Structure formats: C-alpha cells, structure tokens
Structure 1
C-alpha cells in the first residue's frame, strides 16, 4: 500500500510539473471547424449532412400534419382511448385548435434551422482550401439551394424568421430578432438565383443532388407565391428545356425503380439498402394507415402500428370527390383498406381495394389511405420510398398558372393539358377554353389532385387567399359528420394562416415575437 501511495504521489508531481507543457499542445484527436475542412471530400461529406437535414423538414410527422392534415385533403382516425400528447397535438393542428405549446409544429422549425446551420458552416469555410472552380460552384450551388428551399418553407409556415447568413459564433449573433417575411423572401430569391447560376443542368439518371433545374423550379415557385408571374414564367420555361418529362403513367412517378428519374426535379433521398448505421428509411405510409395490430394484408409485412404511428393523414371524402371520372390518379394516390374497426377503434384489414367507385360490402368498412408511398419492403415501418419535393408535373402546373395570371390563358393550356392527358390516358378531358378566373380555378383543382399528399395543399390554400373560406366551409361538414369535434374547431381566421413560433424558442430568445393569435 505504501509503495502504491508513493507511486501515485510521484505521478501527481510529474503531472503538476508538466501540465503547462501538456495543455499547450494541440490534441490531434480534437477536430474543430477550423481544422476539419482539409480536402474536397470533407466538403462533400458536409454537403451530404446538409441534405440529411431536409428529411426532417419535408417528411417528418410535423410536415404532413401541417401541410395536409391542416387542409381539406386529410383528417385522422379518432381514438377516444388514445390521449397521448402527440396524438392530441396532431388532432389539434387538423382542427385548428393548436397553440404555441403544440409539440408537432416545432419539428419543422428545428429541422429547418439545423439545415441552415449545416449550410452556413460550409459557406463560411469554403475558402479554407483551394478548390477548382467547378467543385467550388457545385458545393456552393447545392448549399445555396438547400438554404433557399428551407427558408422558403419556413417563411410560408411561420412568417418572418431570423435570418442567418453565417454560422453564429457568439450569443449576440445567435439570439437575434425575426426578419420580415419580405426580407426572408429576398434571401430565398438571392440564394436560389445564385444556385441556378452555379449548378449544372440535370443529367439522367440523376444522383438526387440539386441541379440547375431544381433551383429554377424553386425560383419559379417563389415568384408564383409572390405573384411575380412574369419572373416565374421566365424561370419555369428554362426548366422545360432541360430534358425532364412525365412518366406515361402517374403511378410510375412513385415507383422505387424510377427514383430520381426524368419526372423528378428534386426529392428527399432514402435508401434502406445502406449498411447500418448509414441506413435510412421513409415510413410515412405506416402513419397513414389505420391502426392495426397486424399490417400484413395492406403492406405485406407484419407490423403493429396501433400504439406507435397509425391513424393519421386519412384522405377525406372531399378530396376523393375532387377527382373526375376516369382520372387514373385517384386509384394511384388513394387505396381502400377494407375490414372493420373494433370497440377500441383499432382496425382489422381483410383486403385492399381500389378507391374508384368503392362501396363497402355489408359488414365491412372501407378506410382510405394514401397509397402512392406504399411499395414492396421487407421490414415494418421501414420503406425505401423517396419523398417528392418537386416533380416535373408541378413545373408544368406552375407555368400554366403564371401564364394564366398574366392573361395568357391560351398559352397556359398546353402545360395544363400535358398533365391532364397523362392523368386520363388521352386528350379526351383536355381543357379547350376558359376565362382567366375559371382557368385559375381549374389549375388549382388540378394541383390538388396531382400533388395530393405531397404537402402542398395547405400552402396552396393560403397563397391563393382561399384558406379561410374553404376551411371554414369544410369545417361545417366535418362537424356535422364527426361528433367528437369540439365546437371551437375549424374557426379559421387570418391569425390561423401561420403557425406559432415554437414557445421553447421564444423562451430561449427574448428577441423573438409570437405570431398574432397565439
């Protein structure tokens, strides 16, 4: 014991004498931002990390709760015994009863600013090493596109938000006030324009990375939102010259074999084939199915989604009725799980049926679900589907809208009818003539059925000024149908067109202000 004590004293004495020397040396195992970027591969890995953050922005539960369930496209399966906080908070968003404490709406905010942070680190360190002009442009073009895409999403859901052009290094740089919505849009336009200038046109098959076509599509979408239709036309017409095309069948656009194909302008990447821990999955369809102890009949895989994920984003009859007779998109977008609900509102499926003219047989219930993201997979709650952000069909519809809103209705028809011909299989349902106002209504309805469950519907209602009337009218029908809805639900006012700034963010940053009504 004495020898051990003496040895410890000696070690401590040596440590004390040598501590200054040890502490003054750089630990080779300690990586800092200033020392990380040594090669182009380091930048490529960082760009990949920025792309990863987009998953939380576009396909997490908050994304479809806010983008689809908030609208007349989708509702939910009410389960009286499920009083979990997450469940009730999703109900609240759909019913317009959400408040600043809601735990579903902050996810989009958090994912967005995580992506912005990842982008800004790359921008701040792009000159740490010498890169070729081509490599530098490719890196900056991609991250500028990501930042523009994120801020465009955030400003439409939350209004003006803090603008970070560089990674904050101090508390003062971190806790800043909200910029105006116009200032955010100015940044989006600047970033998307720069991205379009730096990125190459798409080459097919695509890799899933941002291209000039994706940047110009984003720019066109922004200009349509801001009602700058001539600028939108200019951006979107360029996209039509880049080799994109529609698949012959609508359902083909979502097949796993066609990921990043000629109809894809930009999509969020998933790949279950990668080795753990790199493997990543898209499993939203399990959220969209009814709650089932065994999902095998519907998915081909035995999975229990009763207490975990199911019962949400249920297609409404209002949406199903919006499809015209002969529109092949209905069957490709929505299927029917046929079976029965039990006393606790859980479902047992006995078959999967087409939604076209569906009538449940005696003793059965038909529960619709979005089928466009359901494809063969091996593990429950893990699919290999990508999530579409922009498809070429939307480019055509945005271009048709931008032309029509300038009074060029005749010029808009070929772009609209290209989408409709694919939907109906021939030109029999082409639109031949309409007033400017009438054609705008047709285009917006076309967007609804073409882009169903791609998180576009709520944003379309807001940007076109239709959200308050459409959703209040829809709410009257909902409350007549569902006795569990509270009397105050679907009281849609101007304040409800934006979501609340997450309360946790306001507690952290006293310079943030809350949106009116929350």
Structure 2
C-alpha cells in the first residue's frame, strides 16, 4: 500500500521523478533552471515554491499509472459494451482470487497517490516561502487529488482505511472505515478544495484541478452513494458555470482540440516517452502507426445500442429481414459483401461511426494509407488494404475513438491525447440521473439535460407529449432506460460503464452470457457473480494488516 521509509538513494530517485512530473502537468519550464534535484537531500526539499509545485505535480503524475487512469479506458471490457485480451481476461469470467495483480496494483497505486497527497498536505502549510495565494491553491489541488484517489478506492473496494497523514507501510495498520465515513472524508476534502481552487488557470496550466472539477467530483461521489439531492445540487452548480458542450463530438478525442469548454478534468498527455497515453496502442490495430495490439474492442451489444437517426431503436430484422434467425455461418457470408450490410450502419446515431469502425468502413492508418475493416480479412497490402488486427480470425468491431489517425501520433505508447475524467456531457447525464431518481416522473429539467447531449449528437429530443413517437419517455422507468443507453454510447471507451453497471446493481443481468462476434459466433462467456460488485482487498494487504476484513464472497 505505502512505500517503506526511503533510503538516500531512493530519495534521489524520487526527486528525479518529481522533476519529471513538472513536464507532465503545467509545463513549469522555470523549474528547470535550478540545481539538479537528484543532488538534493531530504532536508532541502519542501522549502521553495518550486519544491511545492514539484510535490503537488507528483500527485498528478500518479494519475497516469496503469491502474489509476493510465489504462482506465480498458475497464469498459468489464462492462457489456467491450471485451478484450491481456487486460482483465480473468475478471471478465470471474475466475480471479484476491492474489491477482489486478487488485494489488489498483490498491497500491491508488494509495501511493494518497501518500503523495498526504505528504504535500503535511508540508505545504508550514512553508514560509509560499504566498498565501499559492499556498491555498496548492493545498486545494492536493485535497482534490486525495479525494479523487479515495473516490476510486471507494468505487472499486468499498470500505477502505482512511489515512490523513503520511505513514510508512509497516505502520499502515488501520482497519477499514465504512463507506459512509470514506464518502464523508471525500466530501470534506472537496468542500475545502472548492473554497481554495480557482475557477480556471492560464492555458499553460490547463489540466490542474479547478473549483468546477471539485464540485463535479463531489456531486459524483454523492451520486455513487445514492445521495441524489446533493448530487443534483452540485451538478446544477457546475451547469451554471462556464462549461459547455463542445459542438463536435469527435474533436473531444483529438489532441489539437481537446482543451475545450467541455473538459472539466482530464489526464494530461504529451507525445513524449514516459508522459503519453497508450490508447492507440491498446485500442488501435496493425494499421495504426506503430502496429498496435487491439487489446480492447467494442461489443455488438454496444453497437446495437446506437439508435436510428430518428430516435427509434435499431433492429437488425428491420434492416435485413430474418437476420436474427440466421446461423453464424450464414451471417458470416452476409458480412462478406459490403452491399449486404452497409445499410445497417447508415442513418444511425452519428456517434456510432465516430467511436467504432464498423464492417467495410474506412480508416486512415499509418503513412496516411486508407484501410477498410473487411470480413473476412485477406491482406493488409495493396490492393485490398484490409485492417489487420490481433483478432483476424474473428468477426469483430474495432475502436475509432481515441485511436490516432494517419501519422498524428508517432509513438504508439506515448500518444498526445488527453484522457477525460469528468466532462460536461457526463455532468449533464449524471444530473438527469440524480433528478430522475428523486422525483416521480421526469420533468423539464431532466429532459433539458439529456437532450442537450442528444442534440449535440444529432438525435431528436426525448419528449413526453407524443406517445406514438420513438422518443417518448414519460415515466421514471422510461427515463432510466434512456439514461443507461445514453451513458453507454456517449461515454463509450471512457471506462465509466463498468462502474455504472455495478452501482446500478444491474451487472448480474447484463454481464452474464456469451460474448459475441458481429456474426453471432461466441468468442467466450462472460461471468459476473454477486461478489464482483466490489473487488477483493488484496491478499497481501490482509496478510500484512490483520485488522482488515475481506469483502463478502472473496474470503
């Protein structure tokens, strides 16, 4: 969970890491003009403003770790809307144990962020070299970041120990606090952060925690513990601030246009080894620059959730009569001709082909060569230029969202695309959810929030006046279904769907059954047991700390 007390050599390495963190958040170039930080001793740190910035930047840097937000997008594979290999394969079939590296990695990396935040909050208040304004801002950032790490701990593990001050691993022997205590601690940190954080920063500091980010996270925390009134109030506050939907959905996931009014908090990435993202590497194909691995792929369940452009539900049998009664072999023949199936993907929610490469659709890959997702795959070379991927024998969809086009990302494991943690569309949908849960039937405020997202996508507004129209949603239950669908398609590949199906307690219904190719052939079977609503406390933690009790079903 925590590092043991560092040696002098370890301290030197930590200072190198902290210096590196400067490049990751905020681009504080003036920090590079000082003496080499690997020559500093422990007693020389936490003295100057530069040290304080380095310490807080190290907390931001922790967010990029694989099991914090570095590979967060792969969590969709644990929802009904995606699947994959190498990541979460055992978790998809509920065949793991508390000894799994997935759980220990998540736990230790999140608590490392807590430890870094605690260190900053322990040292910064006593630093006389800081102006009051800078001191307050950095304390606000550290409190937000500590809350964000604890939010993730609560989301995945439930009740966890709360540590408010730095502690070495051998002394981390607290029992688990209750979920109520953890959520209250998160709320307290965020409430204090809200008072200290600015509304915005200069462009060079885009990506640092803001007042709006803290309010949104406090609302999200309330939503996750079903405190719908406070969640609604916080989201409504954010909705009155300067945030807005970016007019072009696709541009949200491109490096050139990612810093826009929709982004409330995101993980900052630059195209430099050690400071970039691996989304193209994990979600892209062999056609993507760098020859990528396609570890995660969208499921037919997700693709079929994208509505027709008139707002009616998509139905294969209405496009291709008798489709649902065909065998997998018959469908395989059908998909081998573009003219047979392309109409199934036309006149649909535009977010479908923005997010997913469907059969026979084109993709501009490495060296600006245009490829197409053909079935069956024949050759990536001329004249066919089929998209090659690590599932060539399987009839699968692949991601377009977050995947580099042409040569825009030269390093496959260090791409420049920021990863959104909270964006305004998410806030609108969470507001609609919280308010819909509180009142007897959806009202104008609920419709307004969800319809802003739909309108940006190019879909007709939901309404409660014309029962004959496909957009009719008059009851609380109707709106709940619409919110579930809208979150699935709007936030596809952003990692939140797994948390959604768990917090809604529907995972046992939607996460059990065959994982299919688009021909209907079974790839594997997904399993979700009641125990899987929470991850187990890593066995190494229970062995170390006898005060910790394991989650139900994992004993």
TM-score (norm 2): 0.74
Which SS does the other structure have where 1:201 is aligned? Answer: coil
Please tell me whether residue 470 in structure 1 is matched to residue 510 in structure 2.
Answer: yes
Counterpart contact for 2:159–2:176, Cα < 8 Å: yes
Q: 1:190 to 1:251 in 2, by over 3 A?
A: same
Give yes or no for contact 2:263–2:420 (8 Å, CA) kept in 1. Answer: yes
2:242 corresponds in structure 1 to 243
Count of aligned residue pairs for this structure pair? 445
Give me the whole-angstrom Cα distance separating, in 2, the residues matched to 1:369 and 1:385.
18
Are the equivalent residues in 1 in contact too, given 2:81–2:299 (CA < 8 A)? yes
Query: What value does the CA root-mean-square deviation take over the aligned residues?
Result: 3.0
Q: Which position in structure 1 is the counterpart of 2:537?
A: 501
Change (3 A) 1:64 1:501: farther
Native 8 Å contact 2:94 2:529 kept in 1: no
Counterparts of 1:251 and 1:484 in 2: how far apart (Å)? 30
Whole-Å separation in 2 of the counterparts to 1:146 and 1:102: 26
- Kept in 2, the 8 Å contact 1:338–1:365? The answer is no
Q: Give CA-to-partner distance per residue, 1:84-142, whole Å, 9 cap, x none.
A: xxx3x731111222221222333222221111111000000123322322112211111
Q: Which has the larger radius of gyration?
A: 1
d(CA) in 1 for partners of 2:393, 2:79 = 28
TM-superposed CA distance for 1:483, in Å, is 5.9
Cα separation, 2, equivalents of 1:120 and 1:160: 19
Cα shift at 1:476: 8.1
Structure 1 segment 101-180 matched on structure 2, within 5 A? 101-130=99-128, 131-169=130-168, 171-172=170-171, 174-180=172-178
Match of 1:373 among 402, 405, 426: 402
Tell me the equivalent position of 1:442: 482
Of 47, 52, 59 in structure 2, the residue corresponding to residue 43 of structure 1 is 52
What is the CA-CA distance between 1:397 and the residue it aligns to? 0.7
Counterparts of residues 199-278 of structure 1 (less than 5 Å): 199-203=197-201, 205=203, 207-272=206-271
**Partner-residue secondary structure (3-state), 1:385:** coil
CA contact (8 A) 1:38 1:128 kept: no
Name the SS of the counterpart of 1:244 in structure 2: coil
1:280 alignment partner in structure 2: 275
Contact 1:327 1:424 in 2 (8 A): yes
Q: Give the Cα separation in 2 of the matches to 1:48 and 1:254.
A: 24
Change (3 A) 1:110 1:339: farther
How far 1:427 moved relative to its partner?
5.0
The answer as to whether partners of 1:417 and 1:431 remain within 8 angstroms in 2 is no
Q: Distance in 2 between matches of 1:371 and 1:39?
A: 45
Contact residue 338 and residue 367 of structure 1 kept, 8 A: no
CA–CA distance in structure 1, aligned partners of residues 168 and 508 of structure 2: 42
Q: Distance in 2 between matches of 1:330 and 1:204?
A: 35
1:390 matched to 2:446: no
- What is the DSSP-based 3-state SS (H/G/I as helix, E as strand, rest coil) of the residue aligned with 1:249? coil
For each residue in 1:168-188, what CA deviation from the matched residue of structure 2 results, as whole angstroms up to 9, or x when unmatched?
15833x232222222111111
* Separation of aligned partners in 1, 2:545 and 2:394: 50
- Aligned equivalent of 2:327: none
Q: Distance in 2 between the 1:214 and 1:510 partners?
A: 37
Q: Tell me how far apart the structure 2 counterparts of residues 140 and 53 of structure 1 sit (CA, whole Å).
A: 17
Q: Per the alignment, in what secondary structure is the counterpart of residue 64 of structure 2?
A: helix
TM-superposed deviation, 1:501: 1.6
Spell out, residue by residue over 1:332-358, the C-alpha distance to the aligned partner (whole angstroms, 9 max, x if none). 111246257899xx99993459xxxxx
Q: In structure 2, the residue corresponding to 1:175 is in which secondary structure?
A: coil
Shift of 1:259: 2.5
1:157 to 1:365, Cα distance in 2 relative to 1, 3 A: closer
Tell me, in whole angstroms, the C-alpha distance in 2 between the residues paired with 1:29 and 1:256: 35
Change (3 A) 1:101 1:426: same
Matched, 1:323 2:306: yes
CA contact (8 A) 1:155 1:181 kept: yes
Gaps of 5+ in 1: 1-27, 78-86, 354-362
Among residues 407, 421, 436, which one is paired with 2:455 in the alignment? Answer: 421
| 8 Å CA contact 2:297, 2:397 repeated in 1 | yes
What secondary structure, in the 3-state scheme, does the structure 1 residue paired with 2:396 have? strand
Q: Report Cα offsets for 1:436-492 as digits up to 9, x if no partner.
A: 1211211121111111111111111111121112222x44879x9666647xx51x3
State the alpha-carbon separation in 2 of the partners of residues 426 and 435 from structure 1. Answer: 18
User: Distance between the aligned counterparts of 1:414 and 1:434, measured in 2?
Assistant: 14
2:104 and 2:374 map into 1 onto residues whose CA distance is 35
Q: Indicate if the aligned counterparts of 1:338 and 1:366 stay in contact, CA closer than 8 A.
A: no
Superposition deviation, residue 432 in structure 1: 5.9
Partner of 1:31: 41
Whether the aligned pair in 1 keeps the contact of 2:376 and 2:395 (CA below 8 Å) is no
CA contact (8 A) 2:429 2:487 kept: yes
How far has the Cα of 1:246 moved from its partner?
Answer: 1.0
The answer to whether 1:338 aligns with 2:373 is yes
* Equivalence for 1:350: 385
- Once residues 268 and 283 of structure 2 are traced to their aligned partners in structure 1, the CA distance between those partners, rounded to angstroms, is 20
Shift of 1:227: 1.7
With normalisation by structure 1, the TM-score equals: 0.79
User: 2:283·2:398 contact (CA, 8 Å) conserved in 1?
Assistant: yes
